[in-house]
A and B are shown apart, each in its own frame.
Chain A
Amino acid sequence: DAKTTQPTSMDCAEGRAANLPCNHSTISGNEYVYWYRQIHSQGPQYIIHGLKNNETNEMASLIITEDRKSSTLILPHATLRDTAVYYCIVRDSGGGADGLTFGKGTHLIIQP
């Protein structure tokens, strides 16, 4: 799976949009971008995933650049409960059963 690069930490004011960037410059054509978050002492929570088109669900939006070398996770109206470590992961679309490779992620802190 391709390697990802994320900022170590970010702050965001409560009620504002939180934009979390992820660089995956070596991504290949059949690799999806997945986002998870982990709140302290809990298991990782799935947020969203996409291949090339932008995606939106009830939790967040995922914007993938046209060249697919980077993406941004957007939490539209951040709350204090969104404080967590956010992981960006790229996964091959077929074959194999290798484990997910989690980097260090971005520690997002929502400020009141």
Chain B
Amino acid sequence: KAGVTQTPRYLIKTRGQQVTLSCSPISGHRSVSWYQQTPGQGLQFLFEYFSETQRNKGNFPGRFSGRQFSNSRSEMNVSTLELGDSALYLCASSLTGQGFSGNTIYFGEGSWLTVV
């Protein structure tokens, strides 16, 4: 079956703009989480959604937000982009969520965001 799909794969934005990234989880998965990966900070957890509700949030400013739709698809938004937001943004899905280690978390290929 299809894996986690993220769009777009690559994008360039200007400082001050906002961006929306999209994620389609594996069919049947209800949990979607987002991560940011930069060379300096590594992989960092942004937030997790389950049944359209944000269940947990990492330590990121309010400029980073997300939502989940009834079909489990998710979007994340970054407003007022800064140069430091340049990163690989990864979406991951699992059946019931990150807190239950009986179900594995699968990652998409990511969206490369460059802020200039």
Contact = CB atoms under 8 A, between A and B. Distances in A.
Interface stretch (B64-72, B77-85, B100-108): B100-108
Contacts of B50: 97
Given A42-B110, A43-B107, A34 B56 contact: no
A97 B42 contact: no
The secondary-structure label for the interface of chain B is: strand
Nearest to A42: B109
B33 interface: yes
Interface string A78-112: 00000000000001111111111111100000000
A49 B104 contact: yes
Interface string B80-116: 0000000010101000011111101111111010000
17 contacts: A31-B101, A34-B101, A41-B112, A43-B107, A46-B105, A49-B101, A91-B98, A93-B100, A96-B56, A97-B50, A97-B56, A97-B98, A98-B45, A99-B45, A99-B98, A102-B42, A103-B42
Interface of A: 31-32, 34, 36, 41-46, 49, 91-104
Given A98-B45, A99-B98, 20 more contacts: A34-B101, A41-B112, A42-B109, A43-B92, A44-B90, A45-B107, A46-B104, A46-B106, A91-B98, A92-B101, A93-B100, A94-B99, A95-B99, A96-B99, A97-B31, A97-B48, A97-B50, A97-B98, A98-B99, A100-B98
